[in-house]
Chains A and B, each alone.
Chain A
Amino acid sequence: MNTLLKIIKFQLHDILRSKWLIIYCLFFLLLSYGLLSFSADMSKVLVSLMNVSLIIIPLVSVVFGTIYLYNNKDYIIFMLTQPIKRRTLYLGLYLGLALPLVLSYVFGIGVPILFFIKDSEINFGALAYLIIAGIFQTIIFTGLSFLISTVNENRMMGLGLSIFFWLFFSAVYDGIFLLLLQSFQDYSLEKFSIAFSMLNPIDLARIFIILKLDVSALMGYTGAVFQKFFNNNLGIIISLFSLLIWSLIPLLIGKLKFSKKDF
């Protein structure tokens, strides 16, 4: 077995004992189950799941990831005294955390749906999009959290920054955007707003799902612009591609910083 797989295995062994991971999984299980028992309308359920997921996944991934890396500092130093490439260790730690988070989410959301829906009313396409978006949120915000704790020696500072980024992308960003739209109403801001939402991974994920669901009431301004500019399919591809870039950039910068860091 190669070293990367070994590291992932050690991490899984450790993290699967964590009560936080179980709570996280239970949360989605109960949420999914609860929504399904209250409403028979599958697309309403999916929209509610989307709204909650896009708040909770980034929050948990970024905070959990930051704390996780600080808590594993001794383990990291220990591993680095062994014949292991720094990049391999970083990737191993990252996958060892992102994987169980993704699995908890998919399991939590998916199991109640499979049990509840017996007939063909289930919109598998939209469900798949919701799950893909959730996976991207986990990957992106775990990557971001690793970058944050790699460059900040100070734990409180790192944790503060993580929460700041989450608040920023999930709330502040939209506020700034609306403010800009209002102050510059005379100009055509459509192209600008496309660029603006590409810079926010949470907004991107929302657009990605909404374009698939094709519910115009939920498009929001940026969703509508995406639809207008690209039509649904191209919009989906572009948001997917942007999410991919978002998955790679914090991870790669973090890996680079990690390779040059003093321990």
Chain B
Amino acid sequence: MILIKKLYKKFAQLEALINVDIEFPDGALSYLVGPNGSGKTTLIKSILGLVKPTSGEIIVDGIKLNGNYEYKENIGYMPQTAHFPENLTVEEIFKMIKNLRSRKKFYDEELIESFELKKEMNKRLKNLSGGTRQKVNAAIAFLFNPKILILDEPTAGLDPVSSGILKDKIIKEKQSGKTIIFTSHILSELEELAENVIFLLEGKVYYKGSLEHLVEKTNCVNLERAIASIMSGAAA
């Protein structure tokens, strides 16, 4: 369970998150939606300790974050843009990360197989195509079979086939009880799976709850329409 309490983040002049109060329940797939620049990545990075909140609290499995790092053992993170030590080869980065997290004995290498990453192993990361980088990025997130998966616009840079492979993997992990946070600015991805929808706009939470309730509340046929209706309401 990840609890976010009154999270506020200001970058220089810009308020990226304004008193965000949400929770990501255990075993649920939470869908964090919002247009570009609404603060999704900032929220995710705050959970990972990459961004330091200006105020507010983040509590992961009962532990309040305050510069601690042990909780990241249980998180698989797929950043929106992959950050890699560019000089390493694909094989070396897998070796490095296994070496770093040597306490784990079981590796989930399913995505390495299904993305056919074996044939890329000797290439340097800086020479990979954008799509292949995202595949490596995804494979690393799932590698340690973590309890919590945080995926920031995971399908954005992937071709339809790979995107399908990743979605199937997400569904499989969801069924095995993982807690999953998934962000997107596109509204139709995996929406049918989401038990928990959070709509973020300009750093504020405009909706949190089930998809059915949202659709009901706004009298719209699907998530896309419902969100468009909230946005026009927010602008008015």
Q: Which residues of B contact A (CB under 8 A)?
A: 11, 45, 48-52, 67, 69-73, 77, 79, 83-87, 96-97, 99-101
Contacts and interface: CB of A to CB of B under 8 A. Distances in A.
B70 A74 contact: no
Interface of B is mostly: loop
A81 B71 CA distance: 11
A81 B70 CA distance: 11
A3 B69 CA distance: 12
Interface of A: 3, 6, 10, 14, 17, 72-75, 77-78, 80-86, 259-263
Contacts of A77: 50, 79, 83
Contacts of B101: 82-83
A263 B84 contact: no
Contacts of B96: 10
B39 to A, nearest CB: 13
A42 B22 CA distance: 72
Contacts of B71: 83
19 contacts: A6-B99, A6-B100, A10-B96, A72-B85, A74-B83, A74-B84, A74-B86, A75-B83, A75-B84, A75-B86, A80-B49, A81-B48, A82-B72, A82-B100, A84-B69, A85-B69, A86-B69, A260-B52, A262-B11
Contact of B87 (A14, A78, A81, A261): A14
A78 B83 contact: yes
B84 A81 contact: no
A215 to B, nearest CB: 46
Contact of A262 (B52, B69, B85): B52
A72 B84 CA distance: 9
Contacts of A85: 67, 69
B79 to A, nearest CB: 7
B45 to A, nearest CB: 7
Contact of B79 (A10, A81, A84, A260): A81
A262 B84 contact: no
B128 to A, nearest CB: 13
A255 to B, nearest CB: 12
Nearest to B93: A78
A85 B66 CA distance: 11
A43 B84 CA distance: 49
Nearest to B78: A81
B83 A259 contact: no
Q: Taking each of A73, A77, A82, A84, which has the highest tally of chain B beta carbons within 10 Å of its own beta carbon? A: A82
A259 B49 CA distance: 10
Contacts of A10: 85, 96
A75 B84 CA distance: 5
A84 B83 contact: no
A80 B77 CA distance: 11
A81 B79 CA distance: 9
Contacts of B67: 85-86, 259
A75 B52 contact: no
Contact of A263 (B45, B70, B72, B73): B45
A78 to B, nearest CB: 5
